[in-house]
Amino acid sequence: MARFLRLLKIYRVANRYRLGELFANFGQARLLSWLLAFPLPAAINLKSLNRGARLRMALEELGPIFIKFGQLLSTRRDMVPEDIADELASLQDNVTPFDEQQAVSLIEIALDDSIDNLFGSFSPTPLASASVAQVHTGTLKNGEEIVVKVIRPGIEKIIDQDIALLKTIAHFVENNIDQGKRLRALEVVKDYDYIIHDELNLVSEGANATQLARNFEDSDLLYVPKVYWEFCRPNVLVMERIYGIPVSQVEELKAAGINLKTLAERGVQIFFTQVFNHSFFHADMHPGNVYVSRNTPETPQYIALDCAIIGTLSKDDQYYLAKNLLAIFKRDYRKVAELHVECGWVPPDTPVNAFEATMRSVCEPIFQKPLKDISFGMMLLQLFRTASRFNMEVQPSLVLLQKTLLNIEGLGKQLYPDLDLWENALPFLEQWQKERLSPLANLKKISEKIPEWLEALPEMPELIYETLQEVKYYRQHTVSLEKEKSVIEAMKVAKRKRRHTGFAITALVAAGLSLHPDISDMLTQRPAATLILATAGIALLFLRK
């Protein structure tokens, strides 16, 4: 019954704001438009509002979960029209706080003690209130200032109900709209489900904050408030209270003497360091989560809050993203096309020539502008949109990255309108490529694998024996003489390759051993190492036969 009543409310709100018009031009989805065509009285004059504004207002009326879903949709510019995405981006977490005594009770239950025993002081009046949590201020017994974040009571049940309804709507969209499959609405909802439930676990947020702080502990670029783990639970998070200037308050930054050009450039440096050095980036860098320290105005330091949403990239994604950006910058569109196929972002049968021509048609008009006037984030967005014509799969990690880049670029342009993101990004990318592809870097990677290889070497003869047994079994049960001949030929080729590569592997192992920082200790503490290497040699000789 509760789910039915909630669905009825969603229908009434969607009807009141005439959201059926959003689906009027989508084939079978006209049915949904027709269902919403019976007008209910509107509380405001809708004629003066565009479709994005009406959708935004409807989501606000439906409550916190739909507000945050609208915020997520605003980042999916690969599938949401520009006018709607711009309007949804203005959604704010400005939610009425819940009862003060209830907040106190939740904290005391979670920490199994009274507020007076836990803290030196505590303010029942919240400092801020958002969709899923609110924040209170206080001090520890030693006088250190803190903030206490507590999850809204009963919010998880509401979230689960609304997520179930959103999935139903997504199924309808995918199955009844002409281009519904390409919109991948269900995938968007699943991403949202993961993100929103991660935000409900404040221990996860605290862990993210701790990792981010560790990544920048030797840098003055970024500061992350300390987490007081003894006071943290899944629904309660206690952190150091910080004081700074909100990054959006440009006039206040100027009054404090902050060097805005340096501030903008350091923001870009932070982003690329997180993405390409750490593969761990803060993915919710909107102005409310970013502050600036007053302490060093000429070399300003950022302060990052709310680490609930973190993005990561695999090593392959890092590599191909950097190579793509470098190729785009050098206008090598053939390379861009080949990289998209090579990394699997587009199907292997994609016509490279056609893809190259399309990339050129997108990028060349953009490059006619001065570099400082080119939006890095919008260029990526256009490339992803264009690649969708070639059935490019939506990469969730890249979408999150693109959304973060748009945030960073927007902040940078606000702080220093002449910011040239390309000028700041290119040296970083070139240095990253140089370090990653250098022979010394590759030998270092090999040296790091040495202990693992040494552990596996004793099992090599048995693995070789098992492989030969499998080949023997296959040959005995092969009914086709042609297949048997091809298998034998393949085995001969494989043996030749093993003979040639075996010595190369030995040489690389030796080189890696010479670079391994603990090799002397390893050989001293592991006298079996010599025997293992001897076994490897015997195995290599065996492979030559």
Active site residues: 284
* Collapsed DSSP state (helix, strand, coil) of residue 245: strand
Could you tell me the two tokens for 506?
Answer: 């030995």
Cα dist from 15 to 61, 68, 176, 415, 541, whole Å: 13, 21, 19, 41, 77
User: Among candidates 94, 37, 81, 69, which has minimal Cα distance to 162?
Assistant: 69
Q: Judge contact between 24 and 33, C-beta under 8 A.
A: yes
Spatial distance between the Cα atoms of 145 and 296, rounded to a whole number of angstroms:
22
Q: What is the DSSP letter of 6?
A: H
Provide the token pair at 341.
């196929």
Q: What are the backbone angles phi and psi of residue 237, rounded to the nearest 5°?
A: -130, 130
User: In the 8-state DSSP scheme, what is residue 96?
Assistant: P
> Cα–Cα distance between 336 and 397 in angstroms, integer?
19
Token couple for 471: 């080949």
Instruction: Determine the Cα–Cα distance for residues 429 and 156; give it in Å rounded to an integer.
Output: 42
Q: Is 308 helix (H, G, I), strand (E, B) or coil?
A: coil
Radius of gyration of the chain (CA): 29
- Residue 83 half-sphere exposure toward CB, CA atoms < 13 A: 8
**Phi/psi at 434 (5° precision):** -60, -45
HSE toward the beta carbon, residue 428, CA cutoff 13 A: 19
